């Protein structure tokens, strides 16, 4: 017989064995451990018979009050079959044997009204998430690189956003920056009238993938909408 407490453990292994036609037989392993204070580590060693050996390192943090949490992830794989997939022709010249991803994500609440969201992704090629991180790929085919600051007042919501492409094999509309001000529907004095407003001001850059025949261009856009209801 074997006994084990189901309480949370500071140090533990994770194992995921399996087989599929893309990866062959595989064994994905991770070792989780504390580092200091709210920071934890997670080290990956993955074996795939069709694709090779991958290694990764994650650092995660979250305070006990849940005012902030985040993660830094790094992963590297020497891929034995980099062109394997339904897009073989599209991959040629784009995907090489060295595959990697770097990711940073962080959210923080400075007060009950002020929050920050940060996400940055740097990839070796546009297919690395589809090949090895399918869950993330299904959630976002093209990962975002953005920073958002939001303030929620009693009568309005104001936000500053910066969105910037980091990998030149993607196309994107960069927002550097974008300011928004939303006023939710609210009564005008004691009257039967209500007012709401949505406003934004952006400096936009339309960027195309490297090698595209289209030329990048930029524009300034200001949009202001106001509605009165009775």
CB atoms within 10 A of CB 80: 14
pLDDT in the model for residue 92: 85
Share of the chain above pLDDT 70, in %: 100
* pTM, entire model: 0.85
Residues 94-119 pLDDT 10s = 899 999 999 999 999 999 999 999 99
Instruction: Tell me how far CA of residue 26 lies from CA of 54, 118, 162, in angstroms.
Output: 11, 33, 39
pLDDT of residue 149: 97
**Average predicted confidence (pLDDT) for the chain:** 94
**In 10 A of CB 48, how many CB atoms?**
24
Q: Cβ distance 204 to 218 under 8 Å?
A: yes
Choose between 5 and 126: higher pLDDT. Answer: 126
**pLDDT tens across 47-102, in order?**
999 999 999 999 999 998 889 999 999 999 999 999 887 788 888 888 999 999 99
């Amino acid at each position: 017989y074997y006994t084990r407490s189901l309480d949370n453990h500071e140090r533990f292994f994770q194992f995921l064995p399996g087989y599929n036609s893309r990866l062959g037989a595989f064994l994905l392993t991770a070792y989780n451990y504390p580092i200091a204070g709210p920071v934890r580590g997670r080290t990956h060693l993955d074996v795939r018979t069709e694709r090779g050996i991958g290694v990764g390192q994650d650092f995660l943090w979250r305070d006990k009050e849940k005012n902030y949490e985040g993660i830094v992830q790094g992963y590297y794989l020497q891929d034995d079959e980099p062109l394997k997939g339904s897009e073989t022709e599209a991959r040629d010249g784009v995907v090489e044997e060295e595959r990697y991803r770097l990711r940073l994500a962080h959210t923080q609440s400075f007060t009950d009204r002020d929050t920050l969201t940060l996400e940055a992704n740097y990839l070796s090629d546009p297919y690395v998430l589809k090949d090895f991180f399918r869950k993330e790929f299904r959630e976002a085919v093209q990962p975002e690189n953005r920073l958002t600051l939001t303030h929620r007042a009693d009568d309005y919501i104001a936000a500053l956003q910066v969105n910037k492409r980091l990998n030149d094999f993607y196309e994107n509309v960069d927002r550097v920056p974008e300011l928004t001000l939303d006023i939710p529907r609210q009564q005008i004095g004691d009257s039967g009238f209500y007012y709401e407003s949505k406003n934004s001001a952006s400096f936009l850059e339309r960027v195309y993938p490297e090698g595209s025949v289209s030329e990048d261009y930029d524009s300034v856009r200001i949009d202001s909408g106001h509605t009165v209801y009775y």
